[in-house]
Amino acid sequence: MERSINQAVNGGAHTGPRPSPASGIAAMSQRNSADGGTVLESLERVASHLAAGTRPEPVAAVVPHGVPQPVQEPFRPVIRPAVPRLVILDDGDQAGGEIVRLREASTFVGRDEGHVRLPHDPLVSGRHAEIVRQGTGHGSRWVLRDLGSANGTFVRCGRAVLRPDRLLIIGGRRLRFRPAGVMPEEASLPAGTRLMDAAAVASTSWPALVETAQSAGGREFLLGGASLFLGRPGCGNAVEWDDPLLAPRHARVFRGATGGWTIEALPSLNGVWMQVAEVELADLCRFQCGEQRFLFLA
C-alpha cells in the first residue's frame, strides 16, 4: 500500500526518505482536487487508521432518541450474477481449504484437465464433473453434473430415495441398494437352471445394502424391518459395523407407504453421501469427486 501511494505521488521509485501513508494520501487528495474536484472521503480518518494499522469504523448515524438505528447492507451487484466460491476442502477439514471463485459459466473438475485439477487422486477421472451456471443475473442457478466418471460424483444429503443404480458412501464404505427379490446369483446360473439352496433364496426376501467391489470384504447388510437405524456396534442399531467414521447412530432407513426405501441422515461428522448424475447446488452444500471433498458457497 505504501509503495503504490509513493509511486503515485512521486511518479516513480523513491530515492529519499519514504513519506508516511498519511502524507501520501494528503498529496493524492490535493492532486485529485486540482484535477477534477474529486476528493477522497474522510482522508484524514483513513490516513490515521492506516498509520495505526487499523481499519476505520463507520460513523454512527444521528437518529432521534429511542428510534432504532437503520441497518445498512453491504453492496451487492444487481445486474451481473453473484460469484460463488468453491472450497477444495483440506483433508479432515469440514470448512477450510483452497478457495476458487466461479466466475466462468462452466467450471470443470478433473484429474488431467479442467479448471480444478486433482492429479494426485487416482479415483478422479480425467474430466470428472462440471459446475454450470444456468440463467443470467440474480435468476441464475448453479448445477453440478457428473461427466460419466468411473467412480461417480456424490453429494452429502439429508434424505434420499434408495435406488439400485445409485451408490452410497456411509462411513468408509461404498454401498449399493439391492431391492427385495433380486438374486445376485441369477446372472451366473446357466439358462433353465434353478437354485435349490433355500438359505440363499431367503436372504433375498429383504432388501439390502451391499458393499461394492471398491470396498474390502464385500459385506451385505439386510434391511429386515420397516424402519431401522444404522451405526456403530453396541448402540442399538439394526444395521451396524465397526467404523471410526460412523456416528453411534448415523442414519435411519425406512420403507414408505408406496413400498420405496429412503435413507435419512442423522447428525454426524461425516454424513451420508449419495451418487448423483445432476443436482442443483445450494449454499453450504458439499460434494465429492474421488476422495476429494468440496464445499459450495453461494
Domain ranges of the chain: 2-52, 81-186+197-298
Residue 217 has pLDDT above 80, yes or no: no
**6 band by pLDDT with thresholds 50, 70 and 90:** very low
Percent over 90 (pLDDT), the chain: 58
pLDDT score of 1: 40
Q: What is d(CA 273, CA 286) in angstroms, rounded to the nearest whole number?
A: 9
Question: Phi and psi (nearest 5°) for 6?
Answer: -65, -40
pLDDT score of 298: 93
pLDDT score of 13: 46
The answer to whether 99 touches 296, Cβ cutoff 8 Å, is no
Does the predicted TM-score (pTM) go above 0.85? no
Among the residue ranges 44-53, 155-164, 192-201, 255-264, the one predicted with the least confidence is 192-201
Residue 3 has pLDDT above 50, yes or no: no
The CATH number of domain 81-186+197-298, selected from 3.60.110.10, 3.30.1490.190, 3.40.50.300, 2.60.200.20: 2.60.200.20
Count the neighbouring beta carbons within 10 Å of the beta carbon of residue 287: 23
pLDDT score of 218: 78
Q: pLDDT tens-digit profile of 87-105?
A: 999 999 999 999 999 999 9
Residue 130 has pLDDT above 60, yes or no: yes
Strand order in the sheet with 141-146: 116-117, 106-110, 129-134, 141-146, 278-280
**Chain-centre distance for alpha carbon 228:** 28
